[in-house]
Structure 1
Amino acid sequence: MPQAVRFSEYGGIDVLRVEDVPRPAPGPGQVLVEVKAAGINPGEAAIREGVLAEKWPATFPSGQGSDLAGVVAELGEGVQEIVVGDEVIGFSHNRASHAEFVLVEAENLVPRPTGVEWETGGALFIAGTTAYAAVRSVNLREGDIVVVSGAAGGVGSLVVQLAKYTGAIVIGLASEANHAWLTEQDVIPVAYGDGVEERIRTAADGEIDAFIDTYGDGYVELALRLGVHTDRIDTIIDYAAAKKYGVKVEGSAVAANATVLGELVSLAAKGLLEVPIARVYPLAEVHAAYRDLEQRHTRGKIVLRP
């Protein structure tokens, strides 16, 4: 039998199980995909812990995962323009992609171009669409100065690249271990920690126009101290600060569609968008993958390979 990640109660990493499950059968408009790679995301951990239970309650036993890349194994009734054997990149809204097989709505899939690795495609949806929405939310224009916290993380590493395509000057907050990579992306690296505000002001050498927070932990307040207007601050994680100060919280839901995913895949295929892959774990090591995620110090994405 195929295997899938499941959990039957809210809790820590230890509630996750890799279990045998029946092979799913596609219904009308659905496609069964044999998963080759599936990214993991902080939001999935928050859902599993019950932190988001009021907004996104789990139905037990629950699956997990949205991002995916794989090969079409079976078609449901009415599916056109996709054939068995097609290589695809897509997403599931049913918390199900951390598995060997997943049912996906046909409209949520795009072709996998030659040159886009499985891991890249399987890690792109949540982080990519979140980055896309965050950059759009702060209305960047050529010559604007934007600061990005968590600039080498799963979302931040994509935010800095997409922000550069607007013509903005990008300052990226990250550990010194990631400064060389940021410099390669034509991003001005700044170390976080004590004195970060002054280091940002020095690097900007002028008015700071926008701030994208992918990390939380006080960066909204830092953006305000730097003089950034609330309508040009976006946080993807610090909802309490957003509510308190009235800043934006536009994330993946704003851009969570196949059209945006297709644009991101096209950029990756042309070598214009790098999706850094921090580590790849087999499905059976899902516990280790999420422990790694909890450290919040990886460059780019962590991926499961069934």
Structure 2
Amino acid sequence: MLKNKIFIYLFTFHFALLGCSNILDEFAKKDTDEALLFEAKKNMNDSQWNLAIANFNDMSADFLAKREVKLQHAKAYAGRCGLDLLQLFEDLSTNLATGRLYPLLMSAFTGATTTNADDCAQAEALILSISTAPGSRTTEENTTLAFISFAKMGAIFAAFADEGTADGITDTDFDACQNNTTPGISETYVREIGIGLALASNSLAAAVSGGGLSGADELSSVQDACTALAALGATYNFCDETDPAALTANQVKAIRWTMMDNQNIGLGGANTCNIAQTAASPAASFCPLQCVP
């Protein structure tokens, strides 16, 4: 049942050519906004993401401000980011019962760079421009946003934690506590990880309540991490934030902890901890003692 429901949104994602416009009219008028959108959808279906984005760039500002156009625009950037929504959904549904979310996302985007992650961040921004409130977005918009956020996170993990070997496995020298490019991760992208997790959590919850997803393992995994953060203290919980710039120093620290975790959700690496441990004993796995930037 879950796969059937998600397929409705995947069909829209990959085969967006169907609509109310007369196809012959679209071919006849090459320079109208409607014709450009038609061409963009064709290019998206052919995975020609640069051409599709160029089509959107030629559209008028008023047309780009339309809700449905924003969603399609976001899908073009998500495609260039590397998101194959059906494949990612299948990977997570199959493996989350026995695996951790962050490594699964990283392995799905092996070889990705921060350029890919930036495209996903742009896709997020386009959907958030429809509404920042999950309850005011459609189920399709929430589902799409959640998986765009997962894709962004996977691209960032691949760019920083799997940069040395690009084999889908966390580099042994990766240290999420270090605020540098190698072997750590810069704060700019730490913030993007936190916002990605928050957006995925809130968007999936709204999709579930809207009937689009039911019993999603993805939602459970994200919510478990947010619950663990809340147990460490309210000042560390970033799971309701939507603006990277609004994250506090404690929240940024907590995002690093989720990456260092090697028991529940995180990547592990050279410096590890257990995000679910709420007391200082044993000290060797208590996140606040293992990473105090």
With the shorter chain as reference, the TM-score category is: under 0.3
* TM-score, normalised by the number of residues in structure 1: 0.24
Give the number of the structure whose residues are more often strand, by fraction. 1
Structure with the bigger RCO (C-alpha within 8 Å, sep 6+) is: 1
Give the number of the structure whose residues are more often helix, by fraction. 2
